């Protein structure tokens, strides 16, 4: 398994990963070319984000996107907005390897912590995927969203 920065040429493989996931009907129902187009547009080299892919025998099977930011009067943090592994390649260690790579980069950047949201109805939450990898659930914290678009 190789972990490397995502490149614009990975857009198709990343779209196929999202399309493979039964738990995420909004990606499953979307057409592949439209997904690919949107992903290609977001594969920038901006320094406030890192996108990595996991490659197995030259095939991209997973990816992770982390955003780096500094809250007022605090130190640098990482926020993982996406971690997805192709349904046909789960439990091969790609998700863990991508998380470990982000933890390493966070340490190298001097971050104080890395955080993410995990839906309680997803298998990843129910199997304790993040807890088993050193993340701690914060029961006192609630996520609030102000939607500016319907269904978002």
Ligand X SMILES: CC(C)(COP(=O)(O)OP(=O)(O)OC[C@H]1O[C@@H](n2cnc3c(N)ncnc32)[C@H](O)[C@@H]1OP(=O)(O)O)[C@@H](O)C(=O)NCCC(=O)NCCS
Residues forming contacts to ligand X in the complex (CB under 6 A) are 21, 23, 62, 83-85, 90-96, 116, 118, 122-124, 127, 129
Closest distance of CB 107 from ligand X, Å: 20
Instruction: Supply the DSSP symbol for 112.
Output: S
> Is 75 or 119 the residue whose CB approaches ligand X more closely?
119
> Is 45 or 81 the residue whose CB approaches ligand X more closely?
81
Which residue bears the tokens 């490397």?
4
> Is 23 or 48 the residue whose CB approaches ligand X more closely?
23
Q: Tell me the residue number closest to ligand X, measured at CB.
A: 95
d(CA 19, CA 17): 5
Q: What does residue 106 show for φ and ψ, rounded to 5 degrees? A: -60, -45
Q: What does residue 67 show for φ and ψ, rounded to 5 degrees? A: -110, 135
Cα three-residue angle 54-22-30, rounded to 5 degrees: 85
Closest distance of CB 72 from ligand X, Å: 26
């Amino acid at each position: 398994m190789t972990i490397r920065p995502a490149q614009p040429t990975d857009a198709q493989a990343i779209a196929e990963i999202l399309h493979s996931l039964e738990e995420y009907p909004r990606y499953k129902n979307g057409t592949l070319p439209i997904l690919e187009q949107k992903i290609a547009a977001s594969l920038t080299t901006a320094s406030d984000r890192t996108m990595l892919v996991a490659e197995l025998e030259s095939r991209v099977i997973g990816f992770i996107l982390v955003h780096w930011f500094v809250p007022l009067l605090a130190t640098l943090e990482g926020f993982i907005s996406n971690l997805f592994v192709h349904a046909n390649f789960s439990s091969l260690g790609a998700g863990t390897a991508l998380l470990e790579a982000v933890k390493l980069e966070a340490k190298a950047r001097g971050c104080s912590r890395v955080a993410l949201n995990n839906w309680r109805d997803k298998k990843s939450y129910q199997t304790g995927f993040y807890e088993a990898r050193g993340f701690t659930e914060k029961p006192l914290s609630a996520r609030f969203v102000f939607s500016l678009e319907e269904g978002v």
